[in-house]
Amino acid sequence: MKLTWYGHSCFGIETADAKIIIDPFLSGNPSWNKPWETAAEGVTHVLLTHGHSDHVGDAAAILKKTGAMLVANFELCMFLVGQGVSDKQINPGNIGGTVDCGGFTTTFVQALHSSSSELDDGTNVYLGNPGGLVLHFSDAPTLYHMGDTDIFSDMALINELHQPEIGIVPIGDRFTMGGAVAALACQRFFKFKTVIPCHFGSFPIIDQTAEKFVDAMEGTGIKVALPEVGGSIEF
């Protein structure tokens, strides 16, 4: 498995069977500053945690260009169908459900956040429950993208049910948990082998570095991976 960070909460995951992009906020992402096509070429699956614009990003454009499968909650799937994505591309689910994505499965799990999108006329559209995504592969470690969330005690159940080895963890504060709380979540509720912090450094009003998280994870025995934007990690 090859994992690439595109800044903010956007990650690419490549396996023998799939090329996945999660929360493809590329255009307008201050951390990326390259065309979305650079990251989305050959994508087979687009996965979304929730409906905010800094997570849905270029999903519609990517889906229409590549013909990829969309894996998201029902409301988000139908919202993107309304933007011209084919209903034959969608693979909807909701919290607690697992969907077969061909080569891997995705389970929708809880996140403490919100989910909506502002239309051109200023109307705010509800886009279902926010969530995290647990990806199970036959030949690669189980990965948990937490989406945007605070700490919550039922993270212990997510670990019990899925035993993820890789955790993608929001740490930027203000809209998600901050670094110290995120580190507590990783230590108290999970047995990760590797954690990758995200949702920091992209906008001035959230934490600019991962320093608080890294400091709080020191001595835990859990590897903290900090790829540069556009950089990759092999598992």
Other CB atoms within 10 A of residue 131 CB: 29
Q: What does the angle CA 15 – CA 19 – CA 20 come to, to the nearest 5 degrees?
A: 110
pLDDT of residue 122 exceeding 90:
no
Nearest to 196 by CA among 149, 136, 144, 133: 144
pLDDT of residue 100 exceeding 90:
yes
Q: What is the mean pLDDT of the chain?
A: 97
How would residue 120 be classed by pLDDT, with cut points 50, 70 and 90? Answer: confident
pLDDT at 95: 98
pLDDT of residue 6 exceeding 90:
yes
Task: Summarize the confidence of residues 111-127 as an average pLDDT.
Answer: 94
The number of distinct structural domains making up the chain is 1
139 Cβ neighbours under 8 A, 6+ residues apart? 15, 16
3-state secondary structure of 48: coil
pLDDT digits (tens, 9 = 90+) for 16-43: 999 999 999 999 999 999 999 999 999 9
Can you give the residue range of the structural domain that contains 33? 2-234
How would residue 163 be classed by pLDDT, with cut points 50, 70 and 90? Answer: very high
3-state secondary structure of 197: strand
pLDDT of residue 119 exceeding 90:
no
Residue bearing tokens 């949702």: 199
pLDDT digits (tens, 9 = 90+) for 173-229: 999 999 999 999 999 999 999 999 999 999 999 999 999 999 999 999 999 999 999
Report the CATH number that the domain containing residue 131 is assigned in CATH: 3.60.15.10
pLDDT digits (tens, 9 = 90+) for 47-74: 999 999 999 999 999 999 999 999 999 9
pLDDT of residue 109 exceeding 90:
yes
Nearest to 57 by CA among 19, 82, 28: 28
Helix residue ranges, H only, the chain: 36-40, 53-56, 59-66, 74-81, 155-162, 179-189, 211-217
